[in-house]
């Protein structure tokens, strides 16, 4: 995904004037749904590359575990990246962690996000229910993305009003 290495600008055609005015959207705020192995990793990389991230999962306990995992992983990255500069390493870890907040209520956070990355369990019905619900709360410009390993993106897109 583009956002993992740098902030990116998305060109989006508005439905009313598709060819005329392509809007440029800078992705600054990312919501990651699912704080398991993949979601925690996506949240970590998005935060480390300058994005503000909200990580969402079902319980505070799971989110606490995700946060600890992210911190451990960041410390390993920092140790290599700032091998000669322990203070820089600490600052990198602290700054990245401070860009990640958590929530158990996806609907209440997606209204202000540019990109939603779904990384919940690999179940079409659950992913569809999630996207259908978030579709009502996210703004028109919000991009929906899935980390699915085997499901068809079109079957997920069909649960939303966003076909782009």
Ligand X SMILES: NC(=O)c1ccc[n+]([C@@H]2O[C@H](COP(=O)([O-])OP(=O)(O)OC[C@H]3O[C@@H](n4cnc5c(N)ncnc54)[C@H](O)[C@@H]3O)[C@@H](O)[C@H]2O)c1
Note whether 51 and 28 are within 8 A (CB).
Answer: yes
Taking the least distance from each CB to ligand X, the nearer of 53 and 89 is 53
End-to-end CA distance of the chain: 16
Q: Minimum distance from CB of 51 to ligand X (Å)? A: 19
Cα distance between residue 161 and residue 156, in whole Å: 11
Taking the least distance from each CB to ligand X, the nearer of 62 and 100 is 62
Pick from 70, 60, 79: which is nearest to 98 by CA?
70
Q: Minimum distance from CB of 4 to ligand X (Å)? A: 14
Taking the least distance from each CB to ligand X, the nearer of 74 and 130 is 130
Q: Closest residue (Cβ) to ligand X?
A: 36
Phi first, then psi, for residue 153 (nearest 5°) are -60, -35
CB-based burial label for 139 (10 Å; 0-12, 13-18, 19+) = exposed
Q: Minimum distance from CB of 151 to ligand X (Å)? A: 7
Taking the least distance from each CB to ligand X, the nearer of 62 and 70 is 62
Residues in contact with ligand X by CB under 6 A are 33-39, 56-58, 62, 119-122, 126, 130, 147-149
Mode of pairing for the β-strands spanning 9-13 and 22-26: antiparallel
Q: Minimum distance from CB of 150 to ligand X (Å)? A: 7
Q: Minimum distance from CB of 143 to ligand X (Å)? A: 17
Taking the least distance from each CB to ligand X, the nearer of 83 and 126 is 126
Could you give the 3-state DSSP secondary structure of residue 11? strand
């Amino acid at each position: 995904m583009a956002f993992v290495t740098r902030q990116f600008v998305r060109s989006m055609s508005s439905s009313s004037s598709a060819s005329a005015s392509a809007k440029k959207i800078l992705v600054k705020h990312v919501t990651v749904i699912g704080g398991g192995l993949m979601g925690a990793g996506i949240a970590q990389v998005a935060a480390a590359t300058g994005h503000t991230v909200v990580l969402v999962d079902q319980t505070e306990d799971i989110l606490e575990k995700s946060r600890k995992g992210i911190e451990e992983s960041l410390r390993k990255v920092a140790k290599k990246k700032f091998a000669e500069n322990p203070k820089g390493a600490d600052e990198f870890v602290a700054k990245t962690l401070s860009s990640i907040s958590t929530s158990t209520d996806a609907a209440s956070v997606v209204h202000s996000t540019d990109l939603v990355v779904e990384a919940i369990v690999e179940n079409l019905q659950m992913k569809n229910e999630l996207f259908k619900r978030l579709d009502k709360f996210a703004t028109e410009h919000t991009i929906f993305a899935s980390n699915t390993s085997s499901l068809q993106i079109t079957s997920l897109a069909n649960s939303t009003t966003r076909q782009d």
